Structure 1
Amino acid sequence: MISAIVEKKQERGMLVGLDRGEKDFEESLKELDQLASSAGGVIIEKHIQKLPFPTAPYFIGKGKALEFAAICKQKELSFVLFNEELSPIQCRNLNTLFGCKVLDRTQLILDIFAQRAKTREGKLQIELAQLLYLLPRLTRLWTHLSRQTGGIGTRGPGETQLEVDRRRIQERIHRLKKELEEVKKTRFIQRKRRQKFPWPTACLVGYTNAGKSTLFNRLTHSHVLVEDKLFATLDPTIRLFEFSGGQKIFLSDTVGFIQKLPYHLIESFKATLEEVKEADLLIHLVDASHPLAENQINEVNKVLEQIGAINKPIILVWNKIDLVHSDGLVNRRMEEYPGCVPISAATGEGCENLLVKIEEWLKTKRRFFSLKLPMDRTDIVAKLHRMGSGIVTNYQSDGIWVNGWIPHSMFSSLEQFNITVEG
């Protein structure tokens, strides 16, 4: 009975795909179905047309468009979802023909992001992305009010309304960009504060629903929202993580990526994605159980390249090995990607190996030391506590004994004190 009530509340729609012969076409449609579910809709009809390229008026053929319009009216569907971005003219024609909402992949992703945004920053970024998407689609929006002829003295109210709307949207875009610049400055100040503590930053990146938030919660004992939905996490979260040996690192959980990620989102989320760009280490999570895991790796790498983060140190992590029912598959992944780490963020299996891998990388940034300082050099003791991690100080009659972890850059200034370095 409960499920029936939930079903009534969900918007029912049709999924339309244009098959151009791409090898990942079926998986793309499946992903779009999941996106619709994440947005609160349910797909009850799926239709595919094979065409080498979209048609200008309707994206699909006119015959198919009329056929799908009849289905929409018969089943009283509230939306039709297309697997690629539609042009403004195609949107207008299909809306008129279907008599219900017509959405493309970009609109759906923007809608999901709008639902997930909780912080002021996230809401600003989403509004900017939506307006950037809407602006070119204002053309012809008011043609039902304008006159048939053009030229001097024939400008109708529709044209006037179009200009007003375009100007207002452009003004709002300008204001949003200014506000996001302030957000960017705030994030820069926050990063500067973190940099006063010389602990590196590791950023969890990966395809959406790869398990980043689950791993983040397990490692940092946080309570970031975890759902089996695409784009469950939108706003970045940063926590300080301490290893058993005293080493520390800032760990950041970020928004997931997806194939055909809208350009408007990448542009609008630059302030958030700078956390990835400024990180010292990227931990790239991949769903090992996904049939197109390699494609997902490529999509994530494309976004990393777009934001200028592709050349950073990366630890590749195969997550969800508990869902892989073939031991041979995990072994094959290990052979194909040397240095990768198989884990299950849900069960904790392999997470210790990941921590060892991160600690090995940390040793390239800082080393364990021990030295004896004169009793009057408490200034150096203070600096070591400020710049190092896991610092242990022992005051004895013959001097101050200190050990812990410090960045490589500090060793040269301490050589006069016969510093001992391990590892």
Structure 2
Amino acid sequence: MAEPALEEAVALAAALPDLDVVGAEVVRLPKMHAGMLFGKGKIEEIKQRIQAEEVELVLVDGHVSPVQQRNLEKAWDVKLLDRTGLILEIFSDRARTAEGVLQVEMAALSYQRTRLVRAWTHLERQRGGLGFVGGPGETQVEADRRAIDMQLKSLRQNLEKVVKTRTLHRAARAKVPYPIVALVGYTNAGKSTLFNRLTGADVFAKDMLFATLDPTMRKITLPSGDDVIMSDTVGFISDLPTELVAAFRATLEEVLDADLIVHVRDISHAQSEEQSKDVMQILESLGVAEESPLIEVWNKIDRVDDETRDALITKADRTDDLYAVSAITGAGMDQLLDDLAGKLKDPRTEATLNLTFAQGRERAWLFEQGIVTDDIQTETGYDMVVFWTSLQKERFKRL
């Protein structure tokens, strides 16, 4: 449906600072024009609106090829961003951790390298972000290529150092005997508000797309007395640029390590079902949907009418692994907290493993998990007895 997609595109634009959206419309394309995207009549019509509103930036919610971008910018005398470029700008503006910043910059550079018809703007910027939106810079294609390649090489070196540090932190966290609960969901589903309600933290939460980008973790004590670690993650979105899936591998790794995944949905949104499918597709592509236990939380029931709210609560009460809540008012939260402990109890079983000397990394991981009960060296390697959960068994297989 075009209208909900347009609303989301406007919300994306609003998520970027310093942008004032003066107009938005759905443009029907009976035929895709290779060089200009739109037909001559539509280009002239939009040009008149651009001039009348004194527009400086045009956003197209879709893929725009480098040639189309160059031609449209020349025809309209404005800067133009497609969906990928806009999301990259937002991610750059929000990333806070060292790894997040480096990975976003690398994603942006990879995107920029395919568009050498564009001016490279890392030398001069009028505002934060990646520089797609403002600022003059070099225009020579060869200078662009050299600058991008040198910057990518430097970023990769810096990222290697950061990843090593993060790996050490992850290894240390693996020794903590607390299960991890990861909140996932479509962007603006209310994950950070729910996270704050559950943990008492003060994570940035706003009615805005991509309010959270970097993973945030807090320990909480459930009503049962059990301690768990809650992880708030980046919001997913339809047509997420492939560059950004790689760029936020750090956040997605938190989901891979989770003992329980909590899929948070904005049940008041008109496209909630479609958003849910987008999230599940991304989880399945990561290989986590089947391995990790998953529950679904219908958030924002305070935003629907009384009749709809009663129906949602009734359905949640009658359905396993489904909860209807409001992170704002706290409705339904007690039941969710009470049930979390039970969802996290994974019975342990004993197993004997025969590892070769070459499987040192796997052996070290087993010790890090604290699940080794016997370890005997043999002529070919090690006979190890472990006492593990089904989730630890699946993680070991991935190693």
Tell me the TM-score range normalised by the shorter chain: 0.7 to 0.9
The structural deviation recorded for 1:256 is 0.6
Task: Look up the match of 1:8.
Answer: none
CA distance in 1, matches of 2:257, 2:318: 28
- The aligned residue for residue 106 of structure 1 is 84
**Residue in 2 aligned with 1:200?**
179
2:341 equivalent to 1:350: no
Map of 2:304 onto structure 1? 324
* Cα contact 2:224–2:341 (8 A) shared by 1: no
Shift of 1:292: 1.0
Q: 1:170 to 1:46 in 2, by over 3 A?
A: same
Instruction: Please list the CA deviations of residues 9-32 of structure 1 after superposition, one character each: whole Å capped at 9, or x if unmatched.
Output: xxxxxxxxxxxxxxx221111000
**Equivalent residue of 1:80, what SS?**
strand
Conservation of the 8 A alpha-carbon contact between 1:180 and 1:271: no
In the alignment, what sits opposite 1:56?
34
Out of 145, 161, 166, which is 1:166 matched to?
Answer: 145
1:137 alignment partner AA:
R
Deviation at 1:179, TM superposition (A): 2.5
- Residue type matched to 1:207 in 2? Y
CA shift in 2, pair 1:54/1:334, >3 Å = farther
Distance in 2, Cα, partners of 1:243 & 1:213: 18
Aligned to 1:182: 161
Conserved? CA contact 1:207–1:257, under 8 Å: yes
**Which residue pairs with 2:256 in the alignment?**
277
8 Å CA contact 2:186–2:235 kept in 1: the answer is: yes
Q: Residues 88-131 of structure 1: CA distance to partner in whole angstroms, max 9, x if unpaired?
A: 00000010011111111111111111111223222212211111
How far does residue 327 in structure 1 lie from its aligned partner after superposition? 3.3
Using the TM superposition, give the Cα deviation of residue 38 of structure 1 relative to its aligned residue in structure 2, in angstroms: 1.2
Is the 8 Å Cα contact of residues 3 and 26 (structure 2) preserved in structure 1? Answer: no
Q: Structure 1 residues 123-132 or 35-44, which shifts more?
A: 35-44
Q: Which runs of 4+ in 1 moved over 6 A?
A: none
After the TM superposition, which residues 39-50 of structure 1 pair with which residues of structure 2 at under 5 Å, given as runs?
39-40=16-17, 41-50=19-28
Distance verdict in 2 for CA 1:332–1:270, change over 3 Å: same
Q: Tell me if structure 2 keeps the 8 A contact 1:95–1:102.
A: yes
Distance 1:107 1:140, change over 3 A: closer
Q: Please, which runs of 5 or more residues in structure 2 have no aligned partner? A: 121-138, 350-368, 372-385, 390-399
Deviation at 1:307, TM superposition (A): 2.6
Q: Is residue 339 of structure 1 aligned with residue 339 of structure 2?
A: no
Distance 1:324 1:140 in 2: 46
Aligned residues of 2:103 and 2:247 also touching (Cα < 8 A): yes
**Residues 61, 358 of structure 1: CA spacing in aligned structure 2 closer, same or farther, 3 A cutoff?**
same
* C-alpha RMSD of the superposition: 2.6
- Tell me how many residue pairs correspond in the alignment: 334
Identity level (%): 43
CA drift at 1:49: 2.6
Q: CA deviation at 1:349?
A: 0.9
Amino acid in the other structure paired with 1:37: A
Residue of structure 2 in register with 1:370 after alignment: none
1:136 aligns with 2:114: yes
**Offset of residue 78 of structure 1:** 1.5
Counterparts in 2 of 1:233 and 1:298: CA distance versus 1, 3 Å: same
1:122 corresponds to 2:104: no
| Aligned with residue 56 of structure 2, among 47, 54, 78 | 78
| Rg comparison, structure with higher value | 1
State the SS of the aligned residue for 2:26. Answer: strand
Residue 258 of structure 1 is aligned with which of 227, 237, 257?
Answer: 237
Once residues 315 and 164 of structure 2 are traced to their aligned partners in structure 1, the CA distance between those partners, rounded to angstroms, is 41
Change (3 A) 1:332 1:34: farther
**Structure 1 residues 285 and 140 mapped into 2: Cα distance closer, same or farther (>3 Å)?**
closer
CA distance in 1, matches of 2:159, 2:221: 32
Q: Secondary structure at the match of 1:315?
A: strand
Contact 2:215 2:251 in 1 (8 A): yes
1:362 and 2:339 aligned? no
- Contact (CA 8 Å) 2:301, 2:309: kept in 1 or not? no
Per the alignment, in what secondary structure is the counterpart of residue 50 of structure 1? Answer: coil
- Range that drifts further, 166-175 or 281-290: 166-175
Structure in which a larger fraction of residues adopt strand: 1
Deviation per residue, 1:258-291 (Å, 9 max, x gap):
1111111111111232111222211110001011
Give me the whole-angstrom Cα distance separating, in 1, the residues matched to 2:285 and 2:157.
Answer: 22
Question: For the structure 1 residues 68 and 185, does the alpha-carbon distance in structure 2 shift closer, same or farther, using more than 3 Å as the test?
Answer: same
Q: Would you say the 8 A contact 1:284–1:315 is kept in 2?
A: yes
Structure 1 residues not aligned, in runs of 5+: 1-23, 143-159, 368-385, 389-407, 412-423
The farther-off stretch of 323-332 and 256-265 is: 323-332
Query: SS at 2:219's partner residue?
Result: strand
Shift of 1:137: 0.4
